[in-house]
Structure 1
Amino acid sequence: MRVHVTDLKPGDTLSSDTFNSFGIHIMQKGHTLHSSDISKLLQLGVDYVTIENAPVVATVTVTPHTLEQAKVQFDTALEGFETLFLSAAARGEFDGSQVDDMLEPLMEELHTQKDVVSVLFVLNDTNNYTYTHSLQVGMLSYYLAVWLGYTEQEAYLAGRAGYLHDVGKAQVPSDILNKPGKLTADEFEWMKKHTIFGHDLIMKSTGDELSALVALQHHERADGKGYPNQLKLDDIHPYSRIVAVADIYSAMTTNRVYQSKQELLKVLKELHRMSFGQLHPESTQTFIRHMLPNMIGKHVKLNSGETGKIIMTNPSDYFRPLIETNQGFKDLAIETELEIEDIFL
């Protein structure tokens, strides 16, 4: 049976030889996979393999939608969050009964979409950062929970918490929320209150204690230097740790009124640095490990003016990959003067 690499489990056995996109032999028929083998397949950009003894499912096969088809579902969830946010701003509460109605179809769609980076590119095609960011964080939180081994229902709860994590910004004055320049100290203190506002809004509107707790805690940091309560790692809820990683990645890779988006691999490198003291190490490094293979096949613009495509992550430096351009292959781990300026579909 042909399966996507992200659906493999330790103990699965290959039913045919496996090759990468260059035709290089990676693993032989009959090889029983371990966790390290699955990671290797991901790192080498292998998308699908065939395995033995896969269970036969007597249901209709679900064919993944194209990104354009999936975008209809994304747009619906985006419009739903806008309605929710504006209601929270105007009335101090929102219709909590609508949250699951918006999210359940979205999460079902995400289950079929394996290329997370491409999904995020589609979602970046909007001018409203607050709404797009909340949707992205919900989606990334769902994916990260799945990658960490949570059940589908647990991952859904993480995604819902991520979707609602910033709803408290609805009660931050708009001149602070949309200020194009750096916030003053007083303005930043106001902005930090969105975590408390979010907790109270969610409790009032839905009674969802878990999502409310994540809204309160998603800016807490492992070293105790976060807000609002300066919690340390062991005191931060696991879902809050997940949403924190998703929140930072989305924020840094999206254009905002006061800051341009940053190059994707540089953001992953920054998250790697933050995993040593600021963010939960396992959550952060699991996120990086699963996002890196999604970069393979994406187009890039280099600081030399050349354009090309990411061919392989570099085992000596995951954040400086091998690039194929019209002028030949560029190994960024060796050609250190070259930098990726942008990554795109």
Structure 2
Amino acid sequence: MVYLNYQNITITFAMKKEVLFLITDATQSEKMIHIPITQVVPGMVIARDIYSRNDQLILVKGTKLLPNMIAKMMFYTIESIFIYKSEEDIYSDSSYYNRIKQSEDFKNFKQTYDDAMMEIKDSVNLLLQYSNQVPEQQLLHKVEKIIRTSKNKFHLLEMIYCIHEHDDLTFIHSINVALICHVFGEWLQIPPHEVKILTICGLLHDVGKLVIPKEILNKPGPLTKEEYEIVKDHPEQGYLLLLNHKMDERIRLAALEHHERYDGNGYPLCKYGNDIHPFSMIVAIADVYDAMTSRRVYRGAICPFDVIKLFEEEGKQQYDVKYLIPLIQKIAEIYINHTVKLSNNQKGEIILLNKDSLSRPVIKVDNEFIDLSKHKDLRIEAVI
């Protein structure tokens, strides 16, 4: 009898708890909105726990978003989240990147970039409709026009970092990934003729999105589950699309495999390890790097050291380290001698990188040297 009473109490309690939960959730749902990740800005508060594709908890409900957290969601290709309705905090660009945007170098770069983008867009649309051969040299020539406007590889990445959001995100992202692949290929000492192929791999990696209905691809709000599955099908669509064209097979593979991950948790084929072509792996790194660092008019770009930290701490499982480590080392080297703002509002100059902790370099603040690898309570908040 006591046992039954105990069970009844437990069941009653559980039922009451469930009812209370449902009421609370219903009340809270009126205060939350569902938005795509591209519209997320620092200061927003998460209304539901966020999980990765393999059910890893990334961020918990109630978290107030910081730029590095947004980078983390992009790293895991989170498409949309629930946030509480509130006044949005405005993310202010660092003065360093404002200076770049005002420079003549950037203005010239952007003009060449915009002109090349329109030409590339026209060429890709035409070849998909009428041609059975991808004009690789013609496309490469247009990308190289952009490259020639930069002083060096570091300068090129900084220019890309400052490019604003454009009406056609698919093409601007594809050009960015092509440029980044060119830089990565040279950093990895890939032979020049192979770097050209890698650059085209980057340019056409998202070509499958061109067959996705524009009302889905450009939807201002979050995608439904069905719509997300359609978008998620773009690697296979891209491969099939390019199958009808004469080209280097690695270009087709990059379109198919750029969402595969070294640990097998990617898609569409769940390939892992060396089953993924090296060029596809490099394109995958470039793809995520651009997604995390690309500026948005309403958000600004995410601090590059937050991006480096994510690649250091979580990228080693998802990407082949023989490509990843040299690339993030080179990215970190860009910022040696640059002034940064720390999370305690101090300002200093990066003077030395820590090989085993690239996101935590040595900073000179006045006459003091701060080794961030030994001061875990501090982080680089912005390049200024």
- TM interval, shorter chain, is 0.5 to 0.7
Distance 1:288 1:116, change over 3 A: farther
Distance 1:107 1:258, change over 3 A: closer
The answer on whether the counterparts of 1:85 and 1:170 sit within 8 Å (CA) in structure 2 is no
- Which of structures 1 and 2 has the bigger CA Rg? 2
- Per-residue CA deviation, residues 119-147 of structure 1 (Å, 9 max, x unaligned), is 3334x234344333212211121222222
- 1:219 alignment counterpart: 259
- 2:323 alignment counterpart: 283
> Is 1:174 equivalent to 2:214 in the alignment?
yes
SS of 2:117's partner is helix
Distance 2:241 2:211 in 1: 9
- Per-residue CA deviation, residues 77-112 of structure 1 (Å, 9 max, x unaligned), is 3333343466689x5979943413313434555684
- 1:140 alignment counterpart: 180
Matches within 5 A, 1:154-233: 154-204=194-244, 207-233=247-273
SS of 2:334's partner is helix
The answer on whether the counterparts of 2:347 and 2:365 sit within 8 Å (CA) in structure 1 is yes
Letter in 2 for 1:322: V
Letter in 2 for 1:80: E
- 1:29 alignment counterpart: none
Letter in 2 for 1:125: H
Distance 1:191 1:317, change over 3 A: same
Greater CA drift, 220-229 or 107-116: 107-116
Deviation at 1:198, TM superposition (A): 1.8
- Per-residue CA deviation, residues 317-340 of structure 1 (Å, 9 max, x unaligned), is 321223345696544334433332
Deviation at 1:186, TM superposition (A): 1.9
Distance 1:184 1:294, change over 3 A: same
- 1:78 alignment counterpart: 117
Q: C-alpha root-mean-square deviation of aligned residues, in Å?
A: 3.4
Letter in 1 for 2:261: R
Deviation at 1:170, TM superposition (A): 1.8
Runs of 5+ unmatched residues, structure 1? 1-64
Deviation at 1:178, TM superposition (A): 3.0
The answer on whether the counterparts of 2:308 and 2:358 sit within 8 Å (CA) in structure 1 is no
Choose which of 137, 145, 156 in structure 2 pairs with 1:105.
Answer: 145
Deviation at 1:241, TM superposition (A): 0.9
SS of 1:320's partner is strand
Letter in 2 for 1:231: K
Letter in 2 for 1:343: V
Distance 1:76 1:308, change over 3 A: farther
- Per-residue CA deviation, residues 20-61 of structure 1 (Å, 9 max, x unaligned), is xxxxxxxxxxxxxxxxxxxxxxxxxxxxxxxxxxxxxxxxxx
Distance 1:323 1:178 in 2: 42
Runs of 5+ unmatched residues, structure 2? 1-103
Distance 1:298 1:80, change over 3 A: farther
Deviation at 1:264, TM superposition (A): 1.1
The answer on whether the counterparts of 2:153 and 2:183 sit within 8 Å (CA) in structure 1 is no
Distance 1:342 1:329, change over 3 A: same
Distance 1:70 1:206, change over 3 A: farther
Distance 1:257 1:118 in 2: 17
Matches within 5 A, 1:233-272: 233-255=273-295, 261-272=301-312
- 1:127 alignment counterpart: 166
Distance 1:258 1:201 in 2: 34
Deviation at 1:218, TM superposition (A): 0.6
- 1:332 alignment counterpart: 372
SS of 1:341's partner is strand
Distance 1:94 1:329 in 2: 60
The answer on whether the counterparts of 1:179 and 1:258 sit within 8 Å (CA) in structure 2 is no
Choose which of 192, 195, 203 in structure 2 pairs with 1:152.
Answer: 192
SS of 1:277's partner is helix
Distance 2:291 2:114 in 1: 19
Percent identity over the alignment is 31
SS of 2:318's partner is coil
The answer on whether the counterparts of 1:144 and 1:286 sit within 8 Å (CA) in structure 2 is no
The answer on whether the counterparts of 2:352 and 2:363 sit within 8 Å (CA) in structure 1 is yes
The answer on whether the counterparts of 2:329 and 2:358 sit within 8 Å (CA) in structure 1 is no
Matches within 5 A, 1:290-309: 290-309=330-349
Distance 1:277 1:241 in 2: 13
Moved over 6 A (4+): 92-95, 257-260
Letter in 2 for 1:219: H
Distance 2:366 2:214 in 1: 47
Distance 2:321 2:166 in 1: 32
Distance 1:325 1:99 in 2: 46
